[in-house]
Chain A
Amino acid sequence: MSEHPRHRLDPVIHSPIRLSIVACLAAADKAEFAFVRDTVEVSDSVLSRQVTLLAEAGYVNARKGYVGKRPRTWLSLTAAGREAYGKHLAALTAIAKMPVTEEADV
């Protein structure tokens, strides 16, 4: 019997907030911190903490810059982050396709 797809879920991305952050960044080359905050619907401090965790895992890159005089932080997924997200997404899709009768065994 093949391994249950839940074993392929990435423990770093598994948290709902981090999954939302990574999903948002996966659809973009880069996104501003405030855009991700608004999309994921979290506070600055929560996003900052989660981004730090993702950056420590090597999944997210945070780059500070300026537009005119306004400071901005741009977030992007690293190659490792994109790969981990792809595998996590595949595992989620496999789990979602499983018969509901197996749900109790998961």
Chain B
Amino acid sequence: MTSVSSTPLVAGAAEAAPAAGGPRKPGALNRRGRIIGLAAVLPALVVVLGFMIYPVLFALFISFNNSNGRSFKWVGLDNYVRILTDPLVHGVFLTNLKFLISVPLVIFVSIIVSVLLFERVRGWKFFRFIYFLPNVLSAVVIGIMFKQIFGYYGVVNEIVAALGGERIQFFTTGNLAIAVIITALVWSGFGYQSLLLLSGLTSIDPAVFEAAALDGAGWWKRLWYITLPNIRRVLGFVFIINVLYTFTSLFGFIYVMTAGGPGYDTTTVDYLVFLKAFDTGNKGPGAALAVLLFLFIGLLTVLQNKVFRVSEED
């Protein structure tokens, strides 16, 4: 291949310099490059095809069958009909909707924290680090921690008892248990999300704030009319990841905190997929539910992309 840098036309050198990025320009060695490139991608591609794409297709196949995992009997859309008309699934979906309360809560806290951190008060980097701590912990650790804190002899009940109140059974009532899990979600989630929002705030042109200050806009006015509108793209992103999270990532919390109970009162869609996959003889309906969950997530993501496009244009 010819040496690229040996023939710069002095005047336009800066513009003509090959941009870093993109494949090399086509040449005599192109064929060899294609073969080497393909060979290098192949191992990763095979693993992903075999253990992600094939399983999804397999799940799709199972969802159209009655199956114990070994033999398959085609039943068409029966499993989907069963899932969509199952009152248990309806109830579980409603339970999942209750968990959505965590979304505005965690976003509210994150906005406050990010706006305060943005003021660069003393020690803001230290605070940022502390708030981020729960984010590296697993749902299992956070879940058991909160189960202990809200347990019958946990910290909360010790305080209640010390103040002369009745100890509260947080995990025998569905709604109270959900409230505890939501608290855990907010506690563990606000740090990362306020970092995201903070990076959005940092990218606002400071001149905008100065102009507004010159116009006599107070702090609150600036927050409402300048700061928040300027980070609406990040806000949209945070909103969507939270919604996705409530439908796909509560498994760990539910598994260690309530096991879906009492009854099915805290069972979420992702936990129900797990239960259906391993508790019943027929795997078909569970697979159908998993496929529906996947479709729902895909839909939300497409929606997210649409929303982002729109806000990028204006």
Q: Do A and B bind each other?
A: no
